Amino acid sequence: MTHYGPSSGATDTHVNGRQDGPMIKYRGTAISVGLLFLIALVFDIVATSIYRPILDAPDYLLTVYPKRTLVTTGILLDFVSAPAMILIPILLLPLFRTVSMGLAYGYLVFRLFEGILFTVLLAHSHSLINLSRECTKTGAFEASHFRVVGDSIHATIASGTLLYILVYSIGALMFYYLLYRSRLIPRWLSAWGFLAVVLILSGDLLYMFDVFGATPLMRAMAYFAPPIGLQEAVMALWLIVKGFDSSALVARQSAFGPANQAL
């Protein structure tokens, strides 16, 4: 009996130490994911406010090249969002795969596809600089040809953006479902995100079926995008300040801890 007390204390310390390690690790994961969401959101808002008005102006063929520094700066700032898109599912994979292996890797694949599409769209936007430069060197007859090419690039960007929103929405639905099931954040926050994604997906599908007529895509999406933007900002701040729910982490660790260490 004299040896029971010290032995029990040592065991408790060892168990607590094993639990504290993952808690500290996933606290860092929560902060990193929150920061990545904020970076992607803030950089995208700032970047598009810089270069989109220039590219979407009626006389863009004459103004894009003279304002090429602003356009390039905006596109480079927007590009920062692409790595953030890909890093988020990688950081969350060890936790998400304890809920559903298929959905966890599905979310990773769709986020990767989203990042690739995003980069391709930025490349098309940047190509308008060279088109504008060539247009300013030509006469009125040749300028009409450049207008056709430029409008074609704009149409490609619009169609690509519709596909991008679709891919984003499918991945985001997986993301919020996994969050809801895992209880890593409050369920009301996960449900808010899920419903907001359904809203923007609905707007995307409505635009695909020409419900909005000649309304520009970004103007139409302005009615559907704010709820998910606000939710991502709130969720990011929650993850940075509060982190993941500790009881949910303990449940994930106790049920799937050994398998989870394989990643």
Regions in the chain scoring below 50 on pLDDT: 1-18, 258-263
Q: Is residue 68 part of a domain?
A: yes
Residue 73 lies in a domain: yes
**Is position 5 within any domain?**
no
pLDDT for res 15? 43
| pLDDT value for 145 | 83
Query: Closest by alpha carbon to 107, among 162, 160, 169, 164?
Result: 169
Q: Is residue 231 part of a domain?
A: yes
88 is a domain residue: yes
Q: Which pLDDT value is given to residue 236?
A: 97
What are the pLDDT digits (tens) for 7-60?
A: 444 444 444 444 555 667 789 999 999 999 999 999 999 999 999 999 999 999
> What is the pTM (predicted TM-score) of this model?
0.87
Start-end of H helices in the chain: 4-55, 60-63, 68-79, 81-96, 101-135, 140-182, 187-208, 217-221, 226-241, 246-260
pLDDT on residue 20 = 55
pLDDT at 256: 59
Q: Is residue 166 part of a domain?
A: yes
Residue 56's domain spans which residues?
A: 15-260
First to last CA, the chain: 42
Domain assignment of residue 8, yes or no: no
Instruction: Flag whether 4 is in a domain.
Output: no
Surface-to-core class of residue 105, CB atoms within 10 Å of its CB (0-12 exposed, 13-18 middle, 19+ buried): middle
- Give the model's pLDDT for residue 208: 95
Number of domains in the chain: 1
